[in-house]
Structure formats: structure tokens, C-alpha cells
Structure 1
Amino acid sequence: MARPVTLYTLQWGDLPLETVCQKAKEFGYDGVELGLPNHVDVRQTDPAYYQGILDLLAKYDLKLYAISTHLIGQAVCDKIDSRHQAILPDYIWGDGDPEGIHQRAAEELIRTAQAAKMLGVNTVVGFTGSPIWAYLYSFPPVTEQMIEDGYQEFARRFLPILDEYQKLGIRYALEVHPTEIAFDTISAQRALEALGNHPAFGFNYDPSHLGYQGVDYVDFIYHFSDRIFHVHMKDVYWSDTPKQVGVFGGHVTFGDPRRYWNFRSLGRGCINFEEIIRALNAIGYQGPLSVEWEDSAMNREHGARESCEFVKQIDFQPSAHAFDACFEKK
């Protein structure tokens, strides 16, 4: 049986959840990945609230496999500034005091695990933020101690969250991504080590963020075969000729044609999804393939529909036996 194909709802956060469900069903999706805070309010404690969400999904014959808290998770470890006010709910931002924001975001992540339990899913996808992302380019020179201190701060803030996740039987899947504590294979390994390989911590695999950096995004699957908790299907294009704007983005907006790279609808970029499916088969991943649709130059409904079709066409299950087994004499 093919893996379920789901639609991540954060890019549709301007619409009511029922409208998103109607569209997801029409586009051909098997389920959704609900994006917080727009489509789930984890401050709710009444089981009836969560049953109402499940009933709504059932109305459109959609399944739920994960919920995601990228925006809130970003505030747990980031160096907070005015940018965060635009992405955080007022009750997390509060008076804007950074330490208060860190604490409220951490509490919200724990409530998110409790909400996941109520919704019957065992995976929360999200970000962590990073206290050391500003040190990406080592000038003025960045010392190893500065980087180590950043990973220790990450561990200090996230280990109590992960302990609560483990108690609830919920996993936290960090989307490896620039601006996070883990943004490539080496930094992902270091994040795991900083946490003592905590069993509740793993990764949401998204090849797009690795591809444009020049990271081997297929090898990442094999390297973390037991830590791939969830998969985002997202494509990206990068140029094979010099551009005016390089890999760091040149302070121009997504979609600007002068950029070296831009996200694109699935199948229209440079990611080799054939090799990704084969690698996921090799490690035994049977979870959802969740479409996180982003393409600044395309109508999102057109893109979401064609991306669903693309994933269902490219996905396949591994063989149950060697292809040449039929050659053998009985």
C-alpha cells in the first residue's frame, strides 16, 4: 500500500480549517498535517474540542498523522527581536521580554504534545530556533567555545520539553532548516549529541533546504535512518549558472528571479525524488509524505493539486523479494 499523501495547512492558514479540508479532499489528498496556531488551539483542554477536529476531518475522509508548530518552536531558542512579533501569537509575545517569550514558547510546545495525544497522533513537527545562527559565517572569527555554548543552551531549553514528550509517547521532529540549530548533516548530528540522543527527538526530512545548500539530501536519510520521524515533500530550483544573488539570498524576497535558488512546486525543481523514495524504502519509512507547498510564482491551488498528483505518481513500495528470485529452480 502506498504511503499516505498529506497537505501541510500552514500555507493555508488564512482559511478556516473546514475550507482547507474541502480543498484538500478535492485536490486528492489522503490527509492533512495541521499547522499551529492557525488550525489548532493547543490551549484548549476539553476533549470535545479535539474530537470536533477529528470529526471534521472524518467528514471529508481525511486522516491526521502529525501536527506542526514551526512558528512557536522558533521562539524557544532564537535570539528574540522584532521579527518574531510578526509570527507569534500575542499570548506568546506578551510584553516582548525575550526570556518570557522563551518560557511561554516552551510551555506551548508541551501543550502541543498534550494536544497531539488528544488527537491520536504521535508526531509533532517543528522548529527549535538557534542561539548561534548569527555565527553562520565565521567573521569576526567565531570560536569553538561560542558554538559549543550555543548547543548547550539549545539542550538546556529543549531537554525539559523532550522529557515531557517522552512521558506522553510523542516525538518531536525538527525540520532541518537554515536558522535552526540543525541545518545540515553535521549540525543535525551535533544537535542529537547535545541532547544525549534523546529518544523523543528526531527529524522532519525536507530535501529542499538541504539541496540548495549543496548538502547530500539522500545521504541524510541513510545517515539518520532511525530518526526520520516525518517527511515533507518540497521542491526547490537552483541555477547551474552564476546569478546576481547567491545562496545567502541577497536580502531580496523569495521568488525574485535574480536569486540563485527559489522554492518550486513539486516536480518543477532540482530535487531528485526518485532517489528519495528509494532511500525511504531502504530505511523502512512508512509514514506520510506531507506536501509543504511553496512556489511564489504559481497559484497555490494549481500547485497543491499538481503536487498531490506528482507524489502519488512517484511513490512506490519496495519489492517483497529479489527481482531475480524467479530465476531459481524450485
Structure 2
Amino acid sequence: MCQKAKDFGYDGVELCCWGDHIEVEKADQAYCDERKALLKKYDLQLFAISNHLVGQCVCDNIDERHKNILPPHVWGDGDPEGVRQRAAQEMIQTGKVAKQLGLDTVVGFTGSSIWHLLYAFPPLPQTMIDKGFEDFAKRWKPILDEYQKMGVKFALEVHPTEIAFDIESARRALEALDYHPAFGFNYDPSHLGYQHVDYVRFIYEFADRIFHVHMKDVHWSDVPTTVGVFGGHVPFGDHRRYWDFRSIGRGKIDFENIIRALNTIKYNGPLSVEWEDSGMDREAGAAESCEFVRYSDFAPSDIAFDDAMQKE
């Protein structure tokens, strides 16, 4: 994988905590040092680690789907509350692993006990939504407190199925946590664009809370389709879908204005390519995405244009 990443043209990687890239339960200091040495061998940097799958289970309504995404020691006997508690402990351990790797950011999901209430029928009282945000705060504040002690931040990827999936729910998540300093966002425009959320405004709204950036593209149809924004229970890549992820530069996301906005807020973190295009060879997509991001990114000016015409 390291050789491929280097050949594709990348400066480094963001490693996930599933499979065998980073195994949280095995990751003592020696393990972490070995990973860093391997990356150094290929002249690659490590920018962040991600633990979306375990993070999802901290707040979710646990069922058989979660067994397939969790390591056995977190799933245990499958008792929902036990799974949530073990997932919380695993997320704290993930923060410790990040620290051992010399990182200050963990990227992931939070899960949500109220996502299934997205479409409010039968009608639901607002108190049910209130309780969902209260549950989120109760379960994540202890994790975030530990992160703060370690000097590590958690970057939630704002995303459907999470407690925050648009601008307003992201704002409410921050409020629920009393603006905890260890909590912020992994900015990924693809999850906002097809919802018709103003994804450039998101950057300005949460300028001090964008801890990480995923560069990912998405396409949505300009004409009515047989499958709407909710996905129609058809798989990604199906031609009937209203929206689908695309290789970077082949969808509708306006990366020009995203880079300008990130420069304006003085974001200087990584631009991490997340690639999900069901209709394209992934190695070709990885290479062209790296080239696209390098072309799209540029340093901000340190002088206003008009200033160049001013006399001393």
C-alpha cells in the first residue's frame, strides 16, 4: 500500500483503524514505532488515524449490522448497551494510539440514536430529538475529556446517519457538548452537496472547528430520477440513483471555492483524498485524484491586489 501511495504521488496517508492498517488493541508504542518506520521507508507522512466504525457504535441503536463492522472484542455478546460502552472505551484507546503515533487528530463517526427519526412521521415531539442530543453529549463528553488530557482532538465527519449531518445539526451538536475544545469536524463536502446544504458556508460557519478535510466528490442529477435523495434501497453505482460519489473532479463539488474558503480561515492541515467511485477503476482514480488536488490547492496571498498599486 505504501509503495502504491508513493507511486500515485501522495505525500502521506490517513490510516484507518480496521483491517490491519492500525489495530488499536495491538498498538503499543513498539507497534506504533514500526508503523512510522514503515511509512518513513517510503517517504510518507502520517496525517491522522480514523476510527469511523467503532465511533459509530458509541451512540447508535445497535443491531446485527454492527456485528459486521466491529472487532470481536468490541462486539462481545452483542448486548446493545455493552457494545456502546466497549465502543466508547475503544475510542479512548484510539486517542492514546494517536498520541503514540505523534498525531493530534482522530477522525470518525459518532453514531446517533435519533437518525431514524429524520422524517417526522408519525409526528414526534421535539423532546425526542432533545433526548438524542443529550444522549450524544452524555456518551461523548467522557471520551472528549480524555482526548483533551492527551492533547488529541476528535473530528466528526459530518454525514447522514450521524448526530450532525448538516449545518444546523452540526451547530446543535456543538451546543450539546458545551463547545468542548476537543470536538470539531472532518469537513467532507460530498456528504453536504447532494443534500443541497451550502458546503462552502459550512467552512465559514465552523472556521475554528475544522480539524481535518476529506476531499471527495459527488454527482447529483439535474433531472428527476426514479430514486430520490434517500437512496431508494438501491446500491451505490446503480444508474437509477439521484446521487452517487465520483472520483475527484468528476462530480459537482466546487473545489475552487472550497480551497479559497479554507485559505481564508487559515486551515493548514492535510487535504485527505477519500475515494468512492463505483464506476471507475480505483487505482486510476487514486492517481488522478492526487493530481487534481495538487492542481486545485494553492497558497493564499499575503497582500491584497489593490495594495500593490499604493505608493509609500
Q: Which category describes the TM-score, using the shorter chain as reference length?
A: over 0.9
Give deviations 1:120-162, integer Å, cap 9, x for gaps: 0000000000000000000001210000000000001000000
Query: In the alignment, which residue of structure 1 is the partner of 2:294?
Result: 312
3-state SS, counterpart of residue 317 of structure 1: coil
Query: In the alignment, which residue of structure 2 is the partner of 1:51?
Result: 33
Q: How does 1:113-152 map to 2 (within 5 A)?
A: 113-152=95-134
The amino acid across from 1:34 in the alignment is: L
**TM-score for the superposition, normalised by structure 2:** 0.99
Query: In the alignment, which residue of structure 2 is the partner of 1:32?
Result: 13
Q: Which structure is richer in relative contact order (CA contacts within 8 A, separation 6 or more)?
A: 1
Deviation at 1:326, TM superposition (A): 2.1
3-state SS, counterpart of residue 208 of structure 2: coil
Q: How does 1:252-263 map to 2 (within 5 A)?
A: 252-263=234-245
Deviation at 1:109, TM superposition (A): 0.3
Give deviations 1:68-118, integer Å, cap 9, x for gaps: 000110000000011111111111111111011001110100000000000
3-state SS, counterpart of residue 124 of structure 1: strand
Query: In the alignment, which residue of structure 2 is the partner of 1:158?
Result: 140
Q: Are positions 1:110 and 2:92 aligned together? A: yes
Structure 1 counterpart of 2:274, from 272, 284, 292:
292
Counterpart-to-counterpart distance in 2, 1:275 and 1:64: 27
Counterpart-to-counterpart distance in 2, 1:313 and 1:110: 37
Structure 1 counterpart of 2:190, from 183, 204, 208:
208
3-state SS, counterpart of residue 204 of structure 1: strand
The structure 1 segments of at least 4 consecutive aligned residues displaced by more than 6 Å after TM superposition are none
Q: Unaligned stretches of 5+ in structure 2?
A: none
Query: In the alignment, which residue of structure 1 is the partner of 2:3?
Result: 22
Deviation at 1:44, TM superposition (A): 2.8
Instruction: Calculate percent identity across the aligned residue pairs.
Output: 68
3-state SS, counterpart of residue 232 of structure 2: coil
Give deviations 1:44-78, integer Å, cap 9, x for gaps: 35311100000000001000111000011000000
The amino acid across from 2:2 in the alignment is: C
Tell whether the 8 Å contact from 2:58 to 2:111 is kept in structure 1 after alignment.
Answer: yes
Counterpart-to-counterpart distance in 2, 1:327 and 1:196: 47
The amino acid across from 1:291 in the alignment is: V
Query: In the alignment, which residue of structure 2 is the partner of 1:11?
Result: none
Give deviations 1:268-297, integer Å, cap 9, x for gaps: 000000000000000000000000000000
3-state SS, counterpart of residue 155 of structure 2: strand
Q: How does 1:166-315 map to 2 (within 5 A)?
A: 166-315=148-297
The amino acid across from 1:236 in the alignment is: V
Counterpart-to-counterpart distance in 1, 2:95 and 2:220: 36
Counterpart-to-counterpart distance in 1, 2:260 and 2:79: 47
Deviation at 1:248, TM superposition (A): 0.0
Deviation at 1:324, TM superposition (A): 2.4
Tell whether the 8 Å contact from 2:219 to 2:244 is kept in structure 1 after alignment.
Answer: yes
Counterpart-to-counterpart distance in 2, 1:329 and 1:164: 54
Counterpart-to-counterpart distance in 1, 2:125 and 2:230: 22
Query: In the alignment, which residue of structure 1 is the partner of 2:56?
Result: 74
Tell whether the 8 Å contact from 2:28 to 2:97 is kept in structure 1 after alignment.
Answer: no
Query: In the alignment, which residue of structure 2 is the partner of 1:13?
Result: none
3-state SS, counterpart of residue 248 of structure 1: coil
Tell whether the 8 Å contact from 2:248 to 2:292 is kept in structure 1 after alignment.
Answer: yes
Q: Are positions 1:322 and 2:299 aligned together? A: no
Counterpart-to-counterpart distance in 2, 1:45 and 1:210: 34
3-state SS, counterpart of residue 79 of structure 1: coil
The amino acid across from 1:33 in the alignment is: E
Q: Are positions 1:61 and 2:47 aligned together? A: no
3-state SS, counterpart of residue 249 of structure 2: coil
Number of residue equivalences: 311
**TM-score for the superposition, normalised by structure 1:** 0.93
3-state SS, counterpart of residue 306 of structure 1: helix
